[in-house]
Structure 1
Protein backbone atom coordinates (compact mmCIF):
# COMPACT_ATOMS: atom_id res chain seq x y z
CA UNK A 1 0.00 0.00 0.00
CA UNK A 2 2.87 2.41 0.75
CA UNK A 3 3.93 2.31 -2.90
CA UNK A 4 0.47 3.42 -3.97
CA UNK A 5 0.20 6.44 -1.66
CA UNK A 6 -0.38 9.46 -3.81
CA UNK A 7 1.55 12.60 -2.90
CA UNK A 8 0.71 16.24 -3.43
CA UNK A 9 2.74 19.41 -3.02
CA UNK A 10 1.39 22.94 -2.66
CA UNK A 11 3.96 25.71 -2.99
CA UNK A 12 6.85 25.17 -5.38
CA UNK A 13 9.54 27.46 -4.04
CA UNK A 14 12.97 26.22 -3.03
CA UNK A 15 11.61 23.70 -0.51
CA UNK A 16 8.35 22.70 -2.18
CA UNK A 17 9.88 22.54 -5.63
CA UNK A 18 12.76 20.47 -4.28
CA UNK A 19 10.33 18.16 -2.50
CA UNK A 20 8.46 17.61 -5.77
CA UNK A 21 11.73 16.79 -7.52
CA UNK A 22 12.72 14.29 -4.81
CA UNK A 23 9.33 12.59 -4.93
CA UNK A 24 9.51 12.32 -8.70
CA UNK A 25 13.00 10.87 -8.55
CA UNK A 26 11.71 8.17 -6.21
CA UNK A 27 8.93 7.31 -8.66
CA UNK A 28 6.14 8.96 -6.68
CA UNK A 29 5.23 11.72 -9.13
CA UNK A 30 3.25 14.27 -7.11
CA UNK A 31 0.26 16.33 -8.10
CA UNK A 32 1.34 19.93 -7.55
CA UNK A 33 0.00 23.46 -7.33
CA UNK A 34 1.59 26.87 -7.11
CA UNK A 35 -0.05 30.27 -7.36
CA UNK A 36 2.47 30.97 -10.13
CA UNK A 37 1.05 28.95 -13.00
CA UNK A 38 4.28 29.13 -15.01
CA UNK A 39 6.22 27.61 -12.11
CA UNK A 40 3.72 24.78 -11.69
CA UNK A 41 3.70 24.09 -15.43
CA UNK A 42 7.30 22.86 -15.19
CA UNK A 43 6.06 19.82 -13.22
CA UNK A 44 4.19 16.92 -14.85
CA UNK A 45 1.51 16.75 -12.15
CA UNK A 46 0.41 20.40 -12.21
CA UNK A 47 -3.23 21.20 -11.41
CA UNK A 48 -5.20 24.42 -11.14
CA UNK A 49 -6.04 24.63 -7.42
CA UNK A 50 -5.26 23.25 -3.94
CA UNK A 51 -8.65 21.51 -4.03
CA UNK A 52 -7.53 19.48 -7.04
CA UNK A 53 -4.39 18.49 -5.14
CA UNK A 54 -6.47 17.24 -2.21
CA UNK A 55 -8.82 15.35 -4.52
CA UNK A 56 -5.92 13.48 -6.10
CA UNK A 57 -3.55 12.89 -3.19
CA UNK A 58 -3.41 10.90 0.05
CA UNK A 59 -0.61 12.96 1.60
CA UNK A 60 -0.26 16.66 0.79
CA UNK A 61 2.89 18.57 1.68
CA UNK A 62 2.11 22.24 2.25
CA UNK A 63 5.26 24.26 1.55
CA UNK A 64 4.10 27.87 1.60
CA UNK A 65 5.87 30.67 3.46
CA UNK A 66 3.81 31.83 6.43
CA UNK A 67 0.72 31.24 8.57
CA UNK A 68 -1.65 33.31 6.43
CA UNK A 69 -0.66 31.42 3.30
CA UNK A 70 -0.98 28.12 5.16
CA UNK A 71 -4.52 29.03 6.21
CA UNK A 72 -5.47 29.96 2.65
CA UNK A 73 -4.04 26.75 1.23
CA UNK A 74 -5.73 24.61 3.87
CA UNK A 75 -9.09 26.22 3.13
CA UNK A 76 -8.71 25.16 -0.47
CA UNK A 77 -7.47 21.67 0.36
CA UNK A 78 -10.31 20.94 2.76
CA UNK A 79 -13.00 21.77 0.23
CA UNK A 80 -12.07 18.52 -1.53
CA UNK A 81 -10.59 16.51 1.34
CA UNK A 82 -11.50 12.87 1.50
CA UNK A 83 -11.59 11.11 4.90
CA UNK A 84 -8.06 10.10 5.85
CA UNK A 85 -6.28 12.88 3.97
CA UNK A 86 -3.00 13.81 5.66
CA UNK A 87 -1.71 17.38 5.37
CA UNK A 88 1.97 17.81 6.23
CA UNK A 89 2.75 21.42 7.10
CA UNK A 90 6.31 22.26 6.07
CA UNK A 91 6.01 26.00 6.78
CA UNK A 92 7.60 27.29 9.99
CA UNK A 93 4.75 28.88 11.97
CA UNK A 94 3.92 29.47 15.62
CA UNK A 95 2.83 26.38 17.55
CA UNK A 96 -0.69 27.75 18.26
CA UNK A 97 -1.17 28.04 14.49
CA UNK A 98 -0.37 24.33 14.19
CA UNK A 99 -3.17 23.48 16.61
CA UNK A 100 -5.53 25.88 14.84
CA UNK A 101 -4.90 24.23 11.48
CA UNK A 102 -5.11 20.75 12.99
CA UNK A 103 -8.58 21.52 14.35
CA UNK A 104 -9.72 22.60 10.88
CA UNK A 105 -8.36 19.36 9.42
CA UNK A 106 -10.04 17.24 12.08
CA UNK A 107 -13.41 18.88 11.39
CA UNK A 108 -13.06 17.81 7.76
CA UNK A 109 -11.98 14.25 8.55
CA UNK A 110 -8.33 14.95 7.70
CA UNK A 111 -5.16 14.89 9.83
CA UNK A 112 -2.33 17.37 10.18
CA UNK A 113 1.35 16.76 10.85
CA UNK A 114 3.66 19.66 11.64
CA UNK A 115 6.95 19.08 9.89
CA UNK A 116 9.83 21.50 10.10
CA UNK A 117 12.47 20.75 7.50
CA UNK A 118 16.15 21.59 7.23
CA UNK A 119 18.31 22.32 5.28
CA UNK A 120 15.95 23.69 2.66
CA UNK A 121 18.59 23.94 -0.04
CA UNK A 122 18.89 20.14 -0.02
CA UNK A 123 15.19 19.53 -0.72
CA UNK A 124 15.79 18.44 -4.31
CA UNK A 125 18.44 15.94 -3.23
CA UNK A 126 16.40 13.96 -0.71
CA UNK A 127 18.75 15.66 1.73
CA UNK A 128 16.55 17.26 4.38
CA UNK A 129 15.69 16.22 7.92
CA UNK A 130 11.93 16.04 8.53
CA UNK A 131 11.16 17.24 12.08
CA UNK A 132 7.71 15.83 12.83
CA UNK A 133 4.97 16.38 15.35
CA UNK A 134 1.70 14.47 15.41
CA UNK A 135 -0.02 11.21 16.27
CA UNK A 136 2.18 8.17 15.79
CA UNK A 137 -0.37 6.38 13.62
CA UNK A 138 -0.66 9.36 11.27
CA UNK A 139 3.13 9.60 11.09
CA UNK A 140 3.29 5.91 10.20
CA UNK A 141 0.75 6.36 7.41
CA UNK A 142 2.59 9.34 5.95
CA UNK A 143 6.05 7.87 6.46
CA UNK A 144 6.53 6.36 2.97
CA UNK A 145 6.03 9.77 1.39
CA UNK A 146 8.25 11.48 3.95
CA UNK A 147 10.98 8.90 3.42
CA UNK A 148 10.94 9.80 -0.27
CA UNK A 149 11.58 13.43 0.67
CA UNK A 150 13.95 13.36 3.65
CA UNK A 151 17.22 11.66 4.45
CA UNK A 152 15.94 11.26 7.99
CA UNK A 153 12.51 11.48 9.59
CA UNK A 154 12.55 12.41 13.30
CA UNK A 155 9.24 12.07 15.16
CA UNK A 156 9.62 14.56 18.01
CA UNK A 157 6.33 13.92 19.80
CA UNK A 158 2.68 14.98 19.62
CA UNK A 159 1.20 17.71 17.49
CA UNK A 160 3.31 20.87 17.74
CA UNK A 161 6.47 19.09 18.87
CA UNK A 162 8.00 19.14 15.41
CA UNK A 163 7.42 22.86 15.02
CA UNK A 164 8.75 23.56 18.53
CA UNK A 165 11.89 21.58 17.69
CA UNK A 166 12.37 23.44 14.41
CA UNK A 167 11.88 26.79 16.16
CA UNK A 168 14.41 25.84 18.84
CA UNK A 169 16.84 24.77 16.15
CA UNK A 170 16.40 28.12 14.43
CA UNK A 171 17.15 29.91 17.70
CA UNK A 172 20.52 28.15 17.75
CA UNK A 173 21.18 28.98 14.10
CA UNK A 174 20.29 32.67 14.23
CA UNK A 175 21.65 33.10 17.73
CA UNK A 176 25.01 31.64 16.73
CA UNK A 177 25.15 33.95 13.70
CA UNK A 178 24.66 36.88 16.07
CA UNK A 179 27.37 35.61 18.41
CA UNK A 180 29.76 35.14 15.48
CA UNK A 181 29.02 38.68 14.30
CA UNK A 182 29.86 40.05 17.74
CA UNK A 183 33.05 37.99 17.93
CA UNK A 184 34.17 39.08 14.45
CA UNK A 185 33.51 42.72 15.32
CA UNK A 186 35.70 42.34 18.39
CA UNK A 187 38.47 40.54 16.48
CA UNK A 188 38.42 43.09 13.65
CA UNK A 189 38.66 45.96 16.14
CA UNK A 190 41.77 44.30 17.58
CA UNK A 191 43.32 44.16 14.12
CA UNK A 192 42.62 40.50 13.42
CA UNK A 193 41.51 39.49 9.93
CA UNK A 194 38.12 37.71 10.25
CA UNK A 195 39.44 35.06 7.85
CA UNK A 196 42.08 34.24 10.42
CA UNK A 197 39.41 33.73 13.07
CA UNK A 198 37.56 31.41 10.67
CA UNK A 199 40.75 29.44 10.05
CA UNK A 200 41.38 29.00 13.78
CA UNK A 201 37.83 27.88 14.51
CA UNK A 202 37.57 25.47 11.60
CA UNK A 203 40.99 23.96 12.29
CA UNK A 204 40.40 23.54 16.02
CA UNK A 205 36.83 22.29 15.67
CA UNK A 206 36.28 21.08 12.08
CA UNK A 207 33.03 19.29 12.83
CA UNK A 208 31.54 22.09 14.88
CA UNK A 209 31.17 19.72 17.85
CA UNK A 210 31.84 22.46 20.41
CA UNK A 211 28.45 24.07 19.76
CA UNK A 212 26.58 21.16 21.37
CA UNK A 213 29.34 19.70 23.52
CA UNK A 214 28.03 21.01 26.84
CA UNK A 215 24.47 19.96 26.08
CA UNK A 216 25.70 16.46 25.23
CA UNK A 217 27.56 16.34 28.56
CA UNK A 218 24.40 17.35 30.41
CA UNK A 219 22.33 14.72 28.61
CA UNK A 220 24.93 12.04 29.37
CA UNK A 221 24.57 12.75 33.11
CA UNK A 222 28.12 11.63 33.93
CA UNK A 223 28.89 12.38 37.62
CA UNK A 224 32.39 13.54 36.69
CA UNK A 225 30.94 16.11 34.32
CA UNK A 226 28.74 17.51 37.08
CA UNK A 227 31.76 17.93 39.34
CA UNK A 228 33.58 20.19 36.89
CA UNK A 229 30.70 22.66 36.50
CA UNK A 230 32.00 25.14 39.14
CA UNK A 231 35.45 25.05 37.55
CA UNK A 232 34.05 25.64 34.06
CA UNK A 233 31.94 28.52 35.37
CA UNK A 234 35.12 30.15 36.71
CA UNK A 235 36.84 29.68 33.34
CA UNK A 236 33.84 31.11 31.51
CA UNK A 237 33.78 34.13 33.80
CA UNK A 238 37.52 34.73 33.42
CA UNK A 239 37.53 34.41 29.65
CA UNK A 240 34.46 36.54 29.07
CA UNK A 241 35.80 39.18 31.46
CA UNK A 242 38.86 39.32 29.20
CA UNK A 243 36.54 39.73 26.20
CA UNK A 244 34.73 42.60 27.92
CA UNK A 245 38.07 44.24 28.73
CA UNK A 246 39.22 43.92 25.12
CA UNK A 247 35.93 45.34 23.89
CA UNK A 248 36.30 48.27 26.26
CA UNK A 249 39.77 48.98 24.93
CA UNK A 250 38.43 49.43 21.41
CA UNK A 251 35.01 50.85 22.28
CA UNK A 252 33.16 47.83 20.89
CA UNK A 253 29.67 47.02 22.14
CA UNK A 254 29.42 43.33 23.09
CA UNK A 255 26.01 42.79 24.74
CA UNK A 256 26.02 39.05 24.09
CA UNK A 257 29.37 38.65 25.82
CA UNK A 258 27.96 40.46 28.85
CA UNK A 259 24.81 38.36 28.76
CA UNK A 260 26.76 35.10 28.43
CA UNK A 261 28.97 36.04 31.37
CA UNK A 262 26.02 36.95 33.58
CA UNK A 263 24.10 33.80 32.61
CA UNK A 264 27.12 31.50 32.85
CA UNK A 265 26.20 29.69 36.09
CA UNK A 266 22.64 29.09 34.91
CA UNK A 267 23.77 28.03 31.44
CA UNK A 268 26.32 25.49 32.61
CA UNK A 269 24.46 23.95 35.53
CA UNK A 270 22.63 20.67 35.06
CA UNK A 271 18.82 20.99 35.30
CA UNK A 272 18.74 19.99 38.97
CA UNK A 273 21.98 21.68 39.95
CA UNK A 274 22.63 25.12 41.37
CA UNK A 275 25.95 26.85 40.89
CA UNK A 276 26.77 30.13 42.58
Structure 2
Protein backbone atom coordinates (compact mmCIF):
# COMPACT_ATOMS: atom_id res chain seq x y z
CA UNK A 1 0.00 0.00 0.00
CA UNK A 2 1.17 3.52 -0.80
CA UNK A 3 1.28 6.74 1.17
CA UNK A 4 -0.61 9.19 -1.03
CA UNK A 5 -0.94 12.94 -1.07
CA UNK A 6 -4.15 13.77 -2.96
CA UNK A 7 -4.62 17.34 -4.21
CA UNK A 8 -8.08 18.36 -5.40
CA UNK A 9 -11.15 17.03 -3.59
CA UNK A 10 -13.88 18.15 -5.98
CA UNK A 11 -16.68 16.26 -7.72
CA UNK A 12 -14.25 13.69 -9.09
CA UNK A 13 -11.34 13.95 -6.69
CA UNK A 14 -13.24 13.35 -3.47
CA UNK A 15 -14.70 9.92 -4.38
CA UNK A 16 -11.39 8.89 -5.94
CA UNK A 17 -9.53 9.73 -2.72
CA UNK A 18 -12.18 7.87 -0.72
CA UNK A 19 -11.75 4.75 -2.87
CA UNK A 20 -7.98 4.88 -2.42
CA UNK A 21 -8.40 5.07 1.37
CA UNK A 22 -10.90 2.20 1.34
CA UNK A 23 -8.42 0.12 -0.66
CA UNK A 24 -5.95 0.44 2.20
CA UNK A 25 -3.72 3.27 1.03
CA UNK A 26 -2.74 6.00 3.48
CA UNK A 27 -4.31 9.11 1.96
CA UNK A 28 -3.80 12.73 2.98
CA UNK A 29 -6.00 15.13 1.04
CA UNK A 30 -5.76 18.84 0.31
CA UNK A 31 -8.18 21.15 -1.42
CA UNK A 32 -7.76 24.79 -2.37
CA UNK A 33 -11.07 25.70 -0.72
CA UNK A 34 -11.58 24.20 2.75
CA UNK A 35 -14.38 21.92 3.87
CA UNK A 36 -14.07 19.28 1.15
CA UNK A 37 -12.27 16.54 3.09
CA UNK A 38 -15.13 15.21 5.23
CA UNK A 39 -15.80 12.16 3.05
CA UNK A 40 -12.10 11.28 2.91
CA UNK A 41 -11.70 11.62 6.67
CA UNK A 42 -14.78 9.43 7.20
CA UNK A 43 -13.13 6.78 5.00
CA UNK A 44 -9.97 6.81 7.13
CA UNK A 45 -7.94 9.48 5.37
CA UNK A 46 -6.54 12.74 6.69
CA UNK A 47 -6.82 16.39 5.72
CA UNK A 48 -3.75 18.55 5.14
CA UNK A 49 -3.61 22.27 5.67
CA UNK A 50 -1.17 22.86 2.82
CA UNK A 51 0.26 21.24 -0.29
CA UNK A 52 3.59 20.78 1.48
CA UNK A 53 1.95 18.92 4.35
CA UNK A 54 0.07 16.66 1.94
CA UNK A 55 3.06 15.68 -0.20
CA UNK A 56 6.20 15.75 1.92
CA UNK A 57 5.94 12.10 3.09
CA UNK A 58 4.05 10.71 0.09
CA UNK A 59 5.24 7.88 -2.13
CA UNK A 60 2.61 8.97 -4.65
CA UNK A 61 1.24 12.47 -5.21
CA UNK A 62 -2.05 12.69 -7.10
CA UNK A 63 -3.53 15.84 -8.61
CA UNK A 64 -7.15 16.16 -9.74
CA UNK A 65 -7.76 19.82 -10.54
CA UNK A 66 -9.73 21.57 -13.30
CA UNK A 67 -7.19 22.70 -15.91
CA UNK A 68 -3.58 23.51 -16.84
CA UNK A 69 -3.35 26.73 -14.76
CA UNK A 70 -4.42 24.88 -11.61
CA UNK A 71 -1.94 22.05 -12.27
CA UNK A 72 0.84 24.60 -12.67
CA UNK A 73 -0.29 26.41 -9.52
CA UNK A 74 -0.03 23.30 -7.34
CA UNK A 75 3.13 21.95 -9.01
CA UNK A 76 5.45 24.95 -9.16
CA UNK A 77 6.71 27.57 -6.75
CA UNK A 78 8.05 27.33 -3.20
CA UNK A 79 4.75 26.00 -1.84
CA UNK A 80 4.19 23.53 -4.68
CA UNK A 81 4.70 19.83 -5.25
CA UNK A 82 8.12 19.96 -6.89
CA UNK A 83 9.59 22.01 -4.05
CA UNK A 84 8.18 19.80 -1.29
CA UNK A 85 7.79 16.20 -2.50
CA UNK A 86 10.66 13.85 -1.79
CA UNK A 87 13.04 12.61 -4.49
CA UNK A 88 11.77 9.38 -6.03
CA UNK A 89 8.12 10.23 -5.47
CA UNK A 90 5.66 9.50 -8.28
CA UNK A 91 3.38 12.36 -9.38
CA UNK A 92 0.16 11.13 -11.05
CA UNK A 93 -1.86 13.90 -12.67
CA UNK A 94 -5.48 12.84 -13.22
CA UNK A 95 -6.47 16.34 -14.42
CA UNK A 96 -7.46 17.00 -18.03
CA UNK A 97 -4.91 19.48 -19.37
CA UNK A 98 -2.99 20.21 -22.55
CA UNK A 99 -0.49 17.55 -23.66
CA UNK A 100 2.27 20.17 -23.69
CA UNK A 101 1.60 21.10 -20.07
CA UNK A 102 2.10 17.44 -19.14
CA UNK A 103 5.35 17.23 -21.09
CA UNK A 104 6.67 20.40 -19.49
CA UNK A 105 5.73 19.18 -16.01
CA UNK A 106 7.48 15.84 -16.56
CA UNK A 107 10.67 17.63 -17.63
CA UNK A 108 10.61 20.00 -14.66
CA UNK A 109 9.89 17.17 -12.22
CA UNK A 110 12.72 15.02 -13.59
CA UNK A 111 15.18 17.74 -12.60
CA UNK A 112 13.92 17.30 -9.01
CA UNK A 113 14.11 13.50 -9.13
CA UNK A 114 10.31 13.17 -9.28
CA UNK A 115 8.64 10.83 -11.76
CA UNK A 116 5.43 11.89 -13.54
CA UNK A 117 2.51 10.18 -15.25
CA UNK A 118 -0.26 12.05 -17.03
CA UNK A 119 -3.31 9.92 -16.30
CA UNK A 120 -6.58 11.69 -17.17
CA UNK A 121 -9.80 9.80 -16.50
CA UNK A 122 -13.20 9.30 -18.08
CA UNK A 123 -16.41 8.14 -16.47
CA UNK A 124 -17.75 11.20 -14.70
CA UNK A 125 -18.84 11.40 -11.09
CA UNK A 126 -20.62 8.04 -11.26
CA UNK A 127 -17.46 6.31 -12.48
CA UNK A 128 -15.42 8.00 -9.75
CA UNK A 129 -17.86 6.91 -7.04
CA UNK A 130 -18.01 3.34 -8.37
CA UNK A 131 -14.24 3.07 -8.83
CA UNK A 132 -14.93 2.26 -12.48
CA UNK A 133 -13.07 5.02 -14.31
CA UNK A 134 -11.24 4.62 -17.59
CA UNK A 135 -7.67 5.83 -17.16
CA UNK A 136 -5.43 6.73 -20.11
CA UNK A 137 -1.78 7.05 -19.09
CA UNK A 138 1.28 8.72 -20.57
CA UNK A 139 4.84 8.34 -19.25
CA UNK A 140 7.44 5.68 -18.60
CA UNK A 141 6.18 2.09 -18.67
CA UNK A 142 8.03 1.23 -15.45
CA UNK A 143 6.29 4.08 -13.63
CA UNK A 144 2.94 2.94 -15.03
CA UNK A 145 3.57 -0.57 -13.69
CA UNK A 146 4.55 0.83 -10.28
CA UNK A 147 1.36 2.88 -10.13
CA UNK A 148 -0.94 0.01 -11.07
CA UNK A 149 -2.19 -0.72 -7.51
CA UNK A 150 -3.19 2.94 -7.21
CA UNK A 151 -4.95 2.96 -10.59
CA UNK A 152 -6.79 -0.27 -9.79
CA UNK A 153 -8.41 1.35 -6.74
CA UNK A 154 -10.13 3.98 -8.87
CA UNK A 155 -10.48 2.49 -12.35
CA UNK A 156 -11.38 -0.64 -14.25
CA UNK A 157 -9.95 0.18 -17.68
CA UNK A 158 -6.34 1.28 -17.28
CA UNK A 159 -4.13 1.57 -20.37
CA UNK A 160 -0.60 2.81 -20.97
CA UNK A 161 -0.92 4.95 -24.11
CA UNK A 162 2.67 6.06 -24.71
CA UNK A 163 5.15 8.73 -23.59
CA UNK A 164 4.46 11.87 -21.58
CA UNK A 165 1.48 13.73 -23.03
CA UNK A 166 -0.04 10.66 -24.68
CA UNK A 167 -2.61 10.21 -21.92
CA UNK A 168 -3.78 13.78 -22.38
CA UNK A 169 -3.98 13.36 -26.15
CA UNK A 170 -6.20 10.30 -25.75
CA UNK A 171 -8.34 12.17 -23.21
CA UNK A 172 -8.80 14.99 -25.71
CA UNK A 173 -10.07 12.43 -28.23
CA UNK A 174 -12.36 11.02 -25.54
CA UNK A 175 -13.89 14.43 -24.93
CA UNK A 176 -14.40 14.94 -28.64
CA UNK A 177 -16.32 11.67 -28.89
CA UNK A 178 -18.38 12.38 -25.77
CA UNK A 179 -19.37 15.88 -26.92
CA UNK A 180 -20.49 14.65 -30.34
CA UNK A 181 -22.31 11.73 -28.71
CA UNK A 182 -24.16 13.93 -26.22
CA UNK A 183 -25.12 16.43 -28.91
CA UNK A 184 -26.49 13.65 -31.14
CA UNK A 185 -28.34 12.21 -28.15
CA UNK A 186 -29.85 15.62 -27.36
CA UNK A 187 -31.02 16.02 -30.96
CA UNK A 188 -32.55 12.53 -30.95
CA UNK A 189 -34.43 13.27 -27.72
CA UNK A 190 -35.98 16.46 -29.11
CA UNK A 191 -36.81 14.74 -32.41
CA UNK A 192 -38.57 11.93 -30.52
CA UNK A 193 -40.42 14.35 -28.21
CA UNK A 194 -41.72 16.48 -31.06
CA UNK A 195 -42.78 13.33 -32.93
CA UNK A 196 -44.95 12.25 -30.01
CA UNK A 197 -43.06 9.00 -29.40
CA UNK A 198 -42.95 7.37 -25.95
CA UNK A 199 -39.53 8.74 -24.97
CA UNK A 200 -38.63 6.26 -22.19
CA UNK A 201 -39.49 3.34 -24.48
CA UNK A 202 -37.52 4.84 -27.35
CA UNK A 203 -34.40 5.42 -25.27
CA UNK A 204 -34.63 1.91 -23.84
CA UNK A 205 -34.61 0.27 -27.25
CA UNK A 206 -31.96 2.63 -28.61
CA UNK A 207 -29.67 1.76 -25.69
CA UNK A 208 -29.87 -1.91 -26.65
CA UNK A 209 -28.88 -1.44 -30.28
CA UNK A 210 -26.02 0.02 -32.29
CA UNK A 211 -27.03 3.51 -31.11
CA UNK A 212 -26.34 2.45 -27.54
CA UNK A 213 -23.46 4.08 -25.70
CA UNK A 214 -22.12 4.67 -22.22
CA UNK A 215 -23.36 8.25 -22.52
CA UNK A 216 -26.90 7.08 -23.26
CA UNK A 217 -26.84 4.50 -20.46
CA UNK A 218 -25.49 6.91 -17.84
CA UNK A 219 -27.47 9.99 -18.87
CA UNK A 220 -30.82 8.44 -19.86
CA UNK A 221 -32.59 8.87 -16.52
CA UNK A 222 -31.29 12.42 -16.05
CA UNK A 223 -32.43 13.39 -19.55
CA UNK A 224 -35.88 11.98 -18.91
CA UNK A 225 -36.12 13.84 -15.60
CA UNK A 226 -34.62 17.06 -16.93
CA UNK A 227 -32.09 16.81 -14.11
CA UNK A 228 -28.81 18.45 -15.09
CA UNK A 229 -27.06 18.55 -11.74
CA UNK A 230 -23.39 18.23 -12.66
CA UNK A 231 -21.53 14.96 -12.89
CA UNK A 232 -19.22 16.75 -15.33
CA UNK A 233 -19.73 20.46 -15.88
CA UNK A 234 -20.28 21.97 -19.30
CA UNK A 235 -17.68 24.64 -18.53
CA UNK A 236 -15.06 21.93 -18.09
CA UNK A 237 -16.10 20.23 -21.31
CA UNK A 238 -15.80 23.64 -22.99
CA UNK A 239 -12.20 23.81 -21.76
CA UNK A 240 -11.54 20.28 -23.07
CA UNK A 241 -12.97 21.08 -26.50
CA UNK A 242 -10.51 23.97 -26.68
CA UNK A 243 -7.71 21.51 -25.95
CA UNK A 244 -8.74 19.04 -28.65
CA UNK A 245 -9.35 21.66 -31.34
CA UNK A 246 -5.99 23.32 -30.65
CA UNK A 247 -4.16 19.97 -30.61
CA UNK A 248 -5.86 18.87 -33.83
CA UNK A 249 -4.86 22.12 -35.53
CA UNK A 250 -1.24 21.56 -34.47
CA UNK A 251 -1.08 18.10 -36.07
CA UNK A 252 -3.23 19.01 -39.08
CA UNK A 253 -6.27 16.87 -38.26
CA UNK A 254 -9.65 18.08 -39.52
CA UNK A 255 -12.51 17.99 -37.00
CA UNK A 256 -15.59 19.21 -38.92
CA UNK A 257 -18.18 17.61 -36.63
CA UNK A 258 -16.05 18.21 -33.56
CA UNK A 259 -15.77 21.90 -34.41
CA UNK A 260 -19.55 22.18 -34.58
CA UNK A 261 -19.90 20.36 -31.25
CA UNK A 262 -17.32 22.68 -29.72
CA UNK A 263 -19.34 25.70 -30.82
CA UNK A 264 -22.54 24.26 -29.36
CA UNK A 265 -20.78 23.58 -26.05
CA UNK A 266 -19.42 27.15 -26.12
CA UNK A 267 -22.92 28.48 -26.80
CA UNK A 268 -24.33 26.60 -23.82
CA UNK A 269 -21.66 28.08 -21.55
CA UNK A 270 -22.29 31.57 -22.96
CA UNK A 271 -26.00 31.19 -22.16
CA UNK A 272 -25.15 30.53 -18.52
CA UNK A 273 -25.33 26.72 -18.48
CA UNK A 274 -21.65 26.18 -17.69
CA UNK A 275 -22.29 24.88 -14.17
CA UNK A 276 -24.78 22.27 -15.41
CA UNK A 277 -23.96 18.73 -16.50
CA UNK A 278 -22.74 18.36 -20.08
CA UNK A 279 -25.94 16.49 -20.91
CA UNK A 280 -27.57 19.94 -20.65
CA UNK A 281 -26.70 20.30 -24.34
CA UNK A 282 -30.31 19.12 -24.56
CA UNK A 283 -31.40 22.59 -23.44
CA UNK A 284 -29.74 24.15 -26.46
CA UNK A 285 -31.45 21.80 -28.92
CA UNK A 286 -34.81 22.50 -27.29
CA UNK A 287 -34.14 26.23 -27.56
CA UNK A 288 -33.30 25.93 -31.26
CA UNK A 289 -36.45 23.86 -31.76
CA UNK A 290 -38.73 26.43 -30.13
CA UNK A 291 -39.36 24.31 -27.04
CA UNK A 292 -38.97 25.10 -23.30
CA UNK A 293 -35.41 24.38 -22.27
CA UNK A 294 -36.35 22.27 -19.26
CA UNK A 295 -39.23 20.25 -17.85
CA UNK A 296 -41.50 22.10 -15.38
CA UNK A 297 -40.16 21.79 -11.86
CA UNK A 298 -36.90 20.20 -12.95
CA UNK A 299 -33.71 21.30 -11.14
CA UNK A 300 -32.47 23.17 -14.21
CA UNK A 301 -35.77 24.97 -14.96
CA UNK A 302 -35.21 28.74 -15.13
CA UNK A 303 -35.95 31.65 -17.45
Identify the TM-score tier after normalising by the shorter chain: 0.5 to 0.7
How high is the TM-score relative to the length of structure 1?
A: 0.68
104, 110, 113: which one aligns with 2:114: 110
Structure 1, 180-189 or 68-77: larger mean CA deviation: 180-189
Q: How does 1:121-140 map to 2 (within 5 A)?
A: 121=125, 122-140=127-145
Distance 2:117 2:164 in 1: 7
Q: C-alpha deviations, 1:12-59, integer Å up to 9, x for none?
A: 112211111111111112111112332235523211111222211111
Q: C-alpha deviations, 1:89-128, integer Å up to 9, x for none?
A: 1111111111122222122221211111121322233221
Structure 1: runs of 5+ lacking an equivalent: 212-250, 253-276
Distance 1:174 1:105 in 2: 33
Distance 2:190 2:36 in 1: 42
Shift of 1:88: 0.8
Shift of 1:186: 4.0
How high is the TM-score relative to the length of structure 2?
A: 0.62
Structure 1 or 2, whichever has the larger Rg, is 1
158, 162, 180: which one aligns with 1:157: 162
Distance 2:12 2:192 in 1: 36
Q: In structure 2, what is the equivalent of residue 52 of structure 1?
A: 53
Shift of 1:73: 0.8
- RMSD after superposition: 2.6
Q: Counting helix residues as a fraction of each chain, which structure ranks higher? A: 1
The runs of at least 4 consecutive aligned structure 1 residues that moved more than 6 Å come to none
Distance 2:154 2:186 in 1: 34
Residue 23 of structure 1 pairs with residue 20 of structure 2? yes
Q: In structure 2, what is the equivalent of residue 99 of structure 1?
A: 103
The answer to whether the 8 Å contact 1:133/1:159 transfers is yes
Q: In structure 1, what is the equivalent of residue 146 of structure 2?
A: 141
Residue 34 of structure 1 pairs with residue 35 of structure 2? no
Distance 2:85 2:166 in 1: 25
Structure 2: runs of 5+ lacking an equivalent: 217-287, 290-303
Residue 89 of structure 1 pairs with residue 86 of structure 2? no
